[in-house]
Structure 1
Amino acid sequence: MPSIRPAEGVIIDGFRLERRIHNGPMSSLWLVSRDGDPTPMVMKLPSLAEGEDVSAIVGFEVERMILPRLTGAHVPRFVAAADLSRTPYLVMEKVEGQNLAEIADAAPLPPERVAELGARIARGLQELHRQRVLHLDLKPANIMIGPGGDAVFLDFGLSRHDELPDLLGEESDVPMGTGAYIAPEQIEGDRTEPRSDVFALGVILYELVTGRLPFGNPQRKAGMKRRLWKDPTPPRKLNPACPDWLQEIVLRCLEVDPYQRYATPAQVAFALQHPDQVTVTERGKRWRADGPLTVLRRWLRSGNPRWERKPPISEQVVGAPIVMAAVDLGNGVDALGELLRIHARRALDVDPQSRLACVTILKTALLQVESGVDAQGNNLYVQRLIALKDWARPIGLDDERVSVHVLEAVDAAAALIEYARKNQVDHIVMGARANSALRRYLGSVSAQVVAEAPCTVTVVRLAQP
């Protein structure tokens, strides 16, 4: 294998090394340029000196296989690569913006800022999972917040792609990840669980809201395993400004059992974007960590946990969908509303971890609500909210699985489409009237939603006599 000593001015396959911007134990990063190409680029060179950790080589191979397969705003654009048979390198477009580690240095941050950042990260993570990739080394240093606010993920050396060999998992049973952020199942060698990234997201949220790490920063497996039985200090104890809804979200992400966490990053993003819809349990109200006797009992029960074998990543991400029911309440709950409720229930029955977002539109004028009150002086927004809750109640969902939203909008279809996009909805169920005075208005809404929504749409109609 040829070896080129990296230094400023050295040219590798047409890429000129301009300046080293990072030198870590597993790789170095260089700003590079190429004649005729104005793109700002970064080259990653793995550490291959004698005596170096072989995981640097394996990690480079993993990232070289995964990065070219990734697309979208949440990953660096792949430019070029060379494998170990030559001078190995990986070139990607330079990601502009601010590293989350720099933002975390100012923690504790205001709860609203934590929720905003967390939702951005969770939305990006959902898109990553949809591309069949688990990051498995999520931490502030590996996340950039771009100029447009998107979270961009870096360093896929410890990641797993559903369609590629898991080189790290095949070659080692040592926990792969960063001690402060690694999920319990990763410690035991399970690299197939999407909720491992949800756990790491919970650690990041905890760090942003408290300025501390929930489990410290252990470097050995024995230290990492303590999180299997020792719960973290509740965020509100460290930062009284942390609201109970935010603590609820953070501690749910940090549950030891993956199945007690949020099922997908999209569900975390949804909760962070709608704090008024978060069901606060004992988790959110807690003021202190569990006592030594409780911890001891958990330790005695922990033993050597066996994590279930799971279906492919893509199947797990398709599961736990967010179903949106777009409900017309202009004339109360009529026959179409009843039928819509049946179809929403059917969509939810696909997965026990699915959740329902009930949405109705309160039509507005260009600048304000056409009429803020009804003929009796009742607030229309509140009336719609109550009616929407009444519509959802017969479906029989637990509070944690259902939320209600009244959207004030001039363009109903555009509002529904934007809501679905922002909240990463998987399935919209909505009604369309076959004949009525509102047919032209509502019919155009359903047609536009079908044409432009970023997800599956089911349009429900009443059978014609």
Structure 2
Amino acid sequence: MKLLEPGTEIDGFRVGDCLHAGGMAHIYRVSFSAPGREGGFAMAMKVPRMTSSDGAETILSFEVEHQMLQVLCGPHVPRFVAAGDLARLPYLVMEYVEGRVLQSWLDDAVESRLRPDPGDIARLGAALAVAVHSLHSQNAVHLDLKPANVMVRHDGQVVLLDFGLSWHAHYPDLLAEEMRAAAGSPAWMAPEQVVGVRGDPRSDIFAIGVILYELATGELPFGEPQTSGGLRQRLWMDPPPPRRLRPELPAWLQEIILRCLEPEAAKRYPSAAHVAFDLTHPEQVKLSERSARTGPTPWRVHFKRWIKAAGMQYRPSPLPAESITEVPIVMVAVPWRDTTDATLYSLRQAVDRSLGQQAGARLACVTVVPPGGDTTGNETNVVRMQRERLRQWAQGLNLDGHQVSLHVLEGRDTAHALLDYARANRVSLIVVGAATHGLQLQRLMATVPIRVAMEAPCTVMLVKQALPYERLGTTAD
């Protein structure tokens, strides 16, 4: 299909300049042609290529993206406007996202020969993981994450582009039905995609790892294989550790990257929210042998994986939204002062019950202190003491198989600080002690637990304080 001329009118849209002429589609600026009609945001029109040399995947991708854009919502995907008739002129009109494509960050790094700072990599990676988590929460998996499909807005928020290879749990998978070859971009494709499994959200986590690896080192972890044999190597091969290529990288960043790139999906992060959490709190990352690895993986390990991969039957995880709830981030609000043993004990019991029901759940222990420190004005001393209190409180928990992190926040409004933390870290459950004030007082003044319960973005568990020996004493009487 030849390029559309600027000024062409199609179904009430006026075509502007061509923004991109790619191998699969052309993208144009568009506006409403009717005078006085405003859309409220800039728009772009995507027209698939349909020449005699283009394969059927072009039309399939168009149909998939049309299907996906109509059902996805939120700030991390372009807003859908309209679509054209496939028999006459197929097109998609959507929001034109202002910002910078992540690929340009990589191109600038190559040109300047300066790699991004680990802090910048963590911020970009966390924003990307948040966008991917939003997608998975809607039961969709992108399956073609790469720097060219990631737009970074001027405020740092990430918008995902190009859903032509994506998968949605509630709609037919046209690509799986009509294509036999693995669908995706070879450099970023997860091992399970190579063998034809679609719909596993952990495939997107693998792609996040590839992007982080490239940002950190300037290299692709598995190169750009052109054959099926080259693609299959990632079923058992590890890439060179990032710190082997760039020794100054921090251990926590290598830990995160290599965990995302595990050949077996079950060994990766259980959800993109967990990736975002570690990238946002690098000081809390639990280091394993991955973080110190600098040499190649022993051939015996690769051989065992090769044997295992030869007979492995990959199975996708449950529905993305369900898999997220199975591995939640649990936040417990521990008072920083004026608390009783009964409250601390009851909170610990409630957290143990919550973690015991959620294998792989992550626990964030949070306390909020007022700014300015203690009576001496020493903020550092207060933070240090409160972290130690949280550590001692957490020692009584059964944390087998769970990661735990400690967070001391500053804020004059305790409820506001807790709610901000929960939203920023995609918390699934908040455990907080119930107010000890009477109901009459709570009707006049909203307590911290009541405010948290009313405004929280997730489930809240209000815990009533009780000590076991008090109950025993009552029984004995």
> What's the TM-score bracket when you normalise by the shorter of the two chains?
over 0.9
Task: Trace 1:5-154 onto structure 2 (pairs within 5 A).
Answer: 6-35=4-33, 36-37=37-38, 39-107=41-109, 108-154=115-161
Question: Residue 73 of structure 1: CA displacement?
Answer: 1.0
Which runs of no fewer than 5 residues in structure 2 stay unpaired? 110-114
Q: Is the 8 A contact 2:361 2:402 kept in 1?
A: no
Aligned-partner SS, 2:187: coil
Moved more, 236-245 or 290-299: 290-299
CA–CA distance in structure 1, aligned partners of residues 241 and 384 of structure 2:
34
Aligned-partner SS, 2:396: helix
In structure 2, the residue matched to 1:452 is 455
In structure 2, the residue matched to 1:268 is 275
Backbone CA RMSD of aligned residues:
2.3
Question: Residue 53 of structure 1: CA displacement?
Answer: 1.2
Change (3 A) 1:330 1:100: same
Change (3 A) 1:309 1:146: closer
- The C-alpha deviation readout for 1:86-122, integer Å capped at 9, x for no partner, is 3111000100011000012234211010001001111
Structure 2 residue 253 is the aligned partner of structure 1 residue 255: no
Q: Is the 8 A contact 1:185 1:307 kept in 2?
A: yes
- The C-alpha deviation readout for 1:96-150, integer Å capped at 9, x for no partner, is 0110000122342110100010011111111111111100000000000012211
Q: Which runs of 4+ in 1 moved over 4 A?
A: 439-443
AA aligned opposite 1:189: G
In structure 1, the residue matched to 2:431 is 429
CA–CA distance in structure 2, aligned partners of residues 5 and 135 of structure 1:
28
AA aligned opposite 1:267: H
Question: Residue 252 of structure 1: CA displacement?
Answer: 0.2
Change (3 A) 1:229 1:456: same
Aligned-partner SS, 1:64: helix
AA aligned opposite 1:256: P
Question: Residue 399 of structure 1: CA displacement?
Answer: 8.0
Change (3 A) 1:442 1:14: closer
Change (3 A) 1:385 1:442: farther
Question: Residue 298 of structure 1: CA displacement?
Answer: 2.9
Alignment partner of 1:390 out of 369, 389, 392? 392
Change (3 A) 1:327 1:319: same
In structure 1, the residue matched to 2:175 is 168
In structure 1, the residue matched to 2:253 is 246
Aligned residues: 456
Q: Is the 8 A contact 1:119 1:272 kept in 2?
A: yes
CA–CA distance in structure 1, aligned partners of residues 398 and 356 of structure 2:
12
CA–CA distance in structure 2, aligned partners of residues 399 and 373 of structure 1:
39
Change (3 A) 1:45 1:326: same
Change (3 A) 1:141 1:333: farther
Task: Trace 1:285-300 onto structure 2 (pairs within 5 A).
Answer: 285-300=292-307
CA–CA distance in structure 2, aligned partners of residues 178 and 244 of structure 1:
29
Q: Is the 8 A contact 2:360 2:402 kept in 1?
A: no
CA–CA distance in structure 1, aligned partners of residues 261 and 435 of structure 2:
45
CA–CA distance in structure 1, aligned partners of residues 340 and 390 of structure 2:
9
Q: Is the 8 A contact 1:32 1:42 kept in 2?
A: yes
CA–CA distance in structure 2, aligned partners of residues 98 and 453 of structure 1:
32
AA aligned opposite 1:132: N
AA aligned opposite 2:433: G
Question: Residue 309 of structure 1: CA displacement?
Answer: 4.6
Question: Residue 33 of structure 1: CA displacement?
Answer: 1.8
Percent identity (aligned): 44
AA aligned opposite 1:409: G
TM-score w.r.t. the length of structure 2 is: 0.91
Aligned-partner SS, 1:191: coil
Q: Is the 8 A contact 2:201 2:317 kept in 1?
A: no
In structure 2, the residue matched to 1:303 is 310
CA–CA distance in structure 2, aligned partners of residues 430 and 58 of structure 1:
49
Moved more, 268-277 or 333-342: 333-342
In structure 1, the residue matched to 2:325 is 318
Alignment partner of 2:186 out of 179, 185, 200? 179
Change (3 A) 1:372 1:223: farther
Question: Residue 256 of structure 1: CA displacement?
Answer: 0.6
Question: Residue 305 of structure 1: CA displacement?
Answer: 2.2
Question: Residue 318 of structure 1: CA displacement?
Answer: 2.1
Question: Residue 369 of structure 1: CA displacement?
Answer: 2.2
Aligned-partner SS, 1:379: helix
AA aligned opposite 1:24: G
CA–CA distance in structure 2, aligned partners of residues 232 and 5 of structure 1:
41
Moved more, 453-462 or 250-259: 453-462
In structure 1, the residue matched to 2:112 is none
Q: Is the 8 A contact 2:133 2:273 kept in 1?
A: yes
- The C-alpha deviation readout for 1:5-61, integer Å capped at 9, x for no partner, is 633322211212211111122111111121322632111111222231111101100
